Amino acid sequence: MSEHTALEQSILGEIAAAPDEAALEAVRVGALGKKGSVSALLATLGRMAPDERKTAGAAINALKDRVAEALAARRDVLKAAALEARLSAEKLDITLPLRAGPTETGRIHPISQVMDELIAIFADLGFSVAEGPDIETDDYNFTKLNFPEGHPAREMHDTFFFAPGADAKRKLLRTHTSPVQVRTMLAQKPPIRVICPGRTYRVDSDQTHTPQFHQVEGLVIDRTAHMGHLKWVLEEFCKAFFEVKTVKMRFRPSFFPFTEPSMEVDIQCRRQGGEIRFGEGEDWLEILGCGMVHPNVLRNVGLDPDVYQGFAWGMGIDRIAMLKYGMPDLRPFFEADVRWLSHYGFRPLDFPTLAGGLSS
């Protein structure tokens, strides 16, 4: 065996035995690199006589080509094997169930759900949503709503007052959403049709009262709005909200400083065990206060009561949520207990619509 053949076989043997691409690269450098064995053979050509160089040159170059070819072939094999190994190591079973994401596990609080339901119902009746601040002035919360200074109705509101400001006036946490009526009438010309959902505050705490709670106010002002419209709007609302075909309502005379006449509204229901069913039964349940907007309130916001008239109502959102969804205690609403929320909460992508069903 010539010296060349022995070298070639030894290199080809190393190539065949290289276990991975790094080892193969080491073989390539050892043979074809600057200081490699094949390069050393080529370097001997310079010292040969021209004739000898011709034959030896051809033989060494052919050897070099065969080595290069063997390297390339082995590299392809190793590359394919490495890819195969990686593909099987990184295998992913896409038939495994996904871990539930936030849209699956998160829940919408019943208060937010009921607000969305209210907005869906009243938007369908042509109402828009108005908002006001939680921290109110005495003027908007009481005076402009026709609560005269020193009137006992102010005391009934158990108000949280702030310390007097530089102007000696005390701000307060709004005790009802009615000041948003005032803000809306000051900002907008009639016709007005708004609902005002939001947070309200009173110094009160037991199973059905929390210091912070929620109300929704409704207000309609135009030239002709009358009590027949008020009753119809409330009846349509109750049917849609409680998802029943008919409801019987009872309007009882009452008193609010900002409406005249004023009424409290009861709806017919049946109490069975701990459950309440609407649209049937012999019992009555109070759900809201309402009335025709008092002429003094219209005057206080610069509207002429001989031209404009309208009606308003106010309702506890927490209360109607408890009634609709059978929650006996109000306090857990504010406790942020995920167990309660996952029981009573709503799926985030099931947004309430009248067409799709409010609560289904």
The answer to whether 142 and 154 have CB atoms below 8 angstroms apart is: yes
At 22, the amino acid letter reads A
Region of 103-111, 283-291, 302-310, 352-360 interacting with ligand DAH (CB under 6 A): 283-291
179, 257, 291, 352: residue in contact with ligand DAH (rule CB under 6 A): 291
Tell me: does residue 138 bind ligand DAH (CB under 6 A). no
Q: How far is CA 213 from CA 46, 75, 134, 248, in A?
A: 100, 74, 11, 27
Binding residue count for ligand DAH, defined by CB under 6 A: 11
What's the N-to-C CA distance of the chain in angstroms? Answer: 89
Q: Which residue is nearest to ligand DAH (CB)?
A: 314
Tell me: does residue 313 bind ligand DAH (CB under 6 A). yes
As measured in angstroms, the least distance from the Cβ of 335 to ligand DAH is: 24
As measured in angstroms, the least distance from the Cβ of 238 to ligand DAH is: 16
Neighbours of 55 (CB within 10 A): 10
Q: Which is nearer to ligand DAH, 142 or 346 (CB)?
A: 142
Q: Is 107 exposed, middle or buried (0-12, 13-18, 19+ CB in 10 A)?
A: middle
The secondary element (H helix, E strand) that includes residue 28 is helix 21-32
Region of 20-28, 130-138, 311-319, 324-332 interacting with ligand DAH (CB under 6 A): 311-319
> Would you call the peptide bond into 261 cis, given omega within 30 degrees of 0 as the criterion?
yes
What three-state secondary structure class fits 134? coil
For the chain, give me the number of helices (H) and strands (E)? 13, 10
Q: Which is nearer to ligand DAH, 11 or 234 (CB)?
A: 234
31, 115, 238, 312: residue in contact with ligand DAH (rule CB under 6 A): 312
Spatial CA neighbour of 256 closest among 157, 182, 131: 157
Region of 111-119, 122-130, 160-168, 287-295 interacting with ligand DAH (CB under 6 A): 287-295
Tell me: does residue 257 bind ligand DAH (CB under 6 A). no
Alpha-helical (H) ranges within 44-187 are 50-89, 102-105, 110-124, 138-141, 152-155, 179-187
Tell me: does residue 290 bind ligand DAH (CB under 6 A). yes
Q: Which of residues 206-235 bind ligand DAH (CB under 6 A)?
A: 217
Rounded Cα distance between 240 and 61, Å, is: 92
Q: Which of residues 147-176 bind ligand DAH (CB under 6 A)?
A: 176
Tell me: does residue 314 bind ligand DAH (CB under 6 A). yes
Q: Which is nearer to ligand DAH, 70 or 312 (CB)?
A: 312
**Token output for 245:** 């075909």
**Token output for 35:** 């200081």
As measured in angstroms, the least distance from the Cβ of 220 to ligand DAH is: 11
As measured in angstroms, the least distance from the Cβ of 289 to ligand DAH is: 3
DSSP 357: B
As measured in angstroms, the least distance from the Cβ of 295 to ligand DAH is: 14
The C-alpha torsion from 44 through 47 and 52 to 55, rounded to 10°, is 30
Region of 26-34, 134-142, 285-293, 349-357 interacting with ligand DAH (CB under 6 A): 285-293
Binding site for ligand DAH (CB under 6 A): 176, 178, 217, 256, 259, 289-291, 312-314
